[in-house]
Amino acid sequence: MRKALIAVVVVGMVACGQAVSAPSPALPSARPFHPPSSWGLFLASSDTFEQPSWALTRLDAATLTDVEAGRPGKGYAVASADGSTLVEIDYNNDNTSALRVIDARTGTLRRSLRPPFATNPLLTADGSHLLVNDSYGSQYRVFDTRTGRQTGSLVTAESICCAGFPEWLDPTGRFLYGLVVPGSGLGASGPGTPVLLRYDLQSGKEDGRLRLNGLQAGVWQGARIVNAEHVAQTLTPGAALSPDGSQLAVLYQDGTRLMTIDAIHMTVIASRQVSVPSSPLSWLGLMPIDADAKYSEGTTWSLVYSPDGRRLLASAEQMQVDASGHEQTQGLGLRLIDVATSTRMADLPGVDAPWAVFAPDGSALYGMTWVSNT
């Protein structure tokens, strides 16, 4: 098996939340995201966990062929949304880590950082701030990548890193968002209601909490038994923070409704049915994705905003366990949604692309999938 890159070109109200705590006077502020006017396509590929390494290879955006040989690196790498910054994490034998901030366009080293053990790196869209946490997911640190200075920290027992959802850093690098499902775990008898949390990394405290009524998520012990073991059930709605940090979108567990949240004031804007436009989609030759409403072994949605914040790209995966205990994952496809109207613009069923990103000008989608060499 090897990783391959595929490109897909797509031309193209009920308040359900219950505020549990009020935000502090220091509120996040929206910051417009300006994607680069000129851009290139690069593939940052990682090697095995035992000997982590990565390479940055420039590709032709139209044909996906290599334009130049890959630049090698050590450890693991993460890139900013605007393509300006790479951060490389290399782990040492003494349980410490080294961080290197790299100019993604030239490959030159900008700055080195040596915090305590750091994992799960997350960059702001412009690459100006970096968030990392410890191996337990309970302590966070944020750094200014331009100066190397630590600008905030957080210690929490909520472990938002391990709830099955992404974490989001606001454009200023000060506020951290995450979703948790209280009571989720093998001791639970069914899915629960997710809660959106926001932390002020300068004060190191939680400053907002919103219960997302109507949504279901989590991990629980199912009734099905395989090889004398209960099969754990998993349900993960899709969620994403807009590029300017003003809005958070959550796609319901069955893919039929979209909730939009004011991320600054921690209030639900709307929960709308994802509708089908009156004009046919046959010009793309696409059909709707049939969502699984029976909560099989696992249904997971991923969600990403377009650079202009007007569209959402949703992808779904279904995990199943057969009678012999073998796990299988099947991609259910891609769905393009207009945020303002909750209109389903296009579907591409059957595509297994758990990771996808918009081109900066919105003209194309690039996704990563697994293909067999045979």
Residue 139 makes CB contacts below 8 A (sequence gap 6+) with: 133, 153, 154, 155
> Tens of pLDDT along 133-166?
886 767 899 999 999 999 999 998 776 766 678 8
Q: Which amino acid, one-letter code, is at 361?
A: D
Domains and CATH numbers, the chain: 1-12+37-155 (2.130.10.10), 172-278+288-373 (no CATH)
Q: 210 with 268: CB under 8 angstroms?
A: yes
Convert 282-296 to b/e letters by CB count within 10 Å (16 or more is b): eebebeebebbeebb
Q: What is the 3-state secondary structure (H, E, C) of the chain?
A: CEEEEEEECCCCCCCCEEEEECCCCCCCCCCCCCCCCCCCEEEEEECCCCCCEEEEEEECCCCCCECCCCEEEECEEEECCCCCEEEEEEECCCCCEEEEEEECCCCCEEEEECCCCCEEEEECCCCCEEEEECCCCCEEEEEECCCCCEEEEEECCCCHHHCCCCCEECCCCCEEEEEECCCCCCCCCCCECCEEEEEECCCCEEEEEEEECCCCEEEEEEEEEECCEEEEEEEECEEEECCCCCEEEEECCCCCEEEEEECCCCEEEEEEECECCCCCCHHHCCCCCCCCCCCCCEEEEEEEECCCCCEEEEEEEEEEECCCCCEEEEEEEEEEEECCCCEEEEEEECCCCCEEEECCCCCCEEEEEEECCC
Q: The tokens of 38 are what?
A: 């000129």
Segment 179-238, tens digit of pLDDT: 999 888 777 888 899 999 999 999 999 999 999 999 988 888 776 777 767 677 788 889
Q: For residue 334, report the phi and psi dihedrals to the nearest 5 degrees.
A: -120, 150
pLDDT of residue 285: 36
Q: What is the pLDDT of residue 268?
A: 97
Dist CA 364 CA 359 (whole Å)? 5
Please calculate the CA angle 233-235-238 and round it to the nearest 5 degrees. Answer: 160
- Which pLDDT score is estimated for 46? 59
Task: Note if the pTM is more than 0.85.
Answer: no
Question: In terms of pLDDT, which residue wins out, 296 or 337?
Answer: 337
| Confidence class for position 278, pLDDT limits 50, 70, 90 | low
More confident residue, 364 or 251: 251
Q: How far apart are the first and last CA of the chain?
A: 8
Most confident of 92-106, 224-238, 256-270: 256-270
- Alpha-carbon distance of 196 to 177, in angstroms, equals 7
pLDDT computed for residue 190 by the predictor: 84
Torsion, Cα 229 235 241 246, to 10 degrees, reads -130
